[in-house]
Amino acid sequence: MKPFVEGSAKLSRYMPGTVIALLALGIITFFLLPTETILFVEKVKPHRIVFCARMNDKEEWMISYIHSVNRRPVYDYLRIEGTMLRIVRSSYDTFGAGMPETSTAENPLYVGPDGRLEYTVNRLVLDVAVFVGRVADHTLHIKGKKIPFISLACPGETLRFFVGKRSWYQTIKGGCAWK
């Protein structure tokens, strides 16, 4: 039994250093390592982040607006993919200027289960810029919340959506704490 006790004494000599090293590693991870995926909304002029949300990979969100010509709602669905965005599809109930009217092999157009037209976009992009309309009622739908664009920027300004990484500390400090 004595060798075990002596071995334990030698081991316990290294324990405080190990605990301190693990604690330091945890602090560094919390403060410095960018592990959180964040959807950022930036006002383009001047460049300023006006909204951010913690997201998971493959998580979808939506932008809705009223079409400028036919005055009908349009829903654009987007998904987080790594540090990029995928424009998944658009949903609308009637054709209008600029709205797809035909299918292609890459971009099928079909009638969804709710009777709305569904146009598959399936395009991977670095960012999406949206001009905030005066009457379009642009709205961000994310994590069960509805955020009108006019609460983020004035009509006539441009908002840019993009994905980035932050540390947990930067995320909480930057006001992106809700999941």
* CA gap 161, 137 in Å, rounded: 17
Q: What is the rounded (10 degree) CA torsion for 149, 95, 84, 54? A: 40
How much is the pLDDT for 172? 72
Residues whose CB is less than 8 angstroms from the CB of residue 125 and which lie 6 or more positions away in sequence, other chains included: 84, 85, 86, 87
Which pLDDT does position 41 carry in this prediction? 94
Q: Provide the pLDDT for residue 108.
A: 81
At 166, the amino acid letter reads: R
Asked if residues 43 and 152 have their Cβ atoms less than 8 Å apart, the reply is yes
| Cα 94 to Cα 72: distance, rounded to the nearest angstrom | 7
What's residue 170's pLDDT?
Answer: 67
> pLDDT value at position 6?
53
Q: What is the pLDDT of residue 105?
A: 81
What pLDDT sits at residue 171?
67
Could you tell me the mean pLDDT of each successive run of 10 residues in the chain, 179 residues long? 52 65 70 78 91 93 90 93 94 78 81 85 95 93 95 95 82 66
**What pTM did the predictor assign?**
0.78
Determine the pLDDT at residue 93: 83
How many angstroms separate the CA atoms of 114 and 47, rounded? 39
Q: Which two tokens stand for residue 11?
A: 């081991």
Return the closest-CA partner of residue 161 out of 177, 135, 134, 138.
Answer: 138
Q: Give the domain ranges of the chain.
A: 1-32, 36-173
What 3-state DSSP class applies to 148? strand
Nearest-CA neighbor of 131 among 72, 69, 43? 43
Q: Specify the pLDDT at position 179.
A: 54
Three-state DSSP at 87 gives strand
Dihedral (Cα; 129, 131, 132, 137), 10-degree rounding: -90
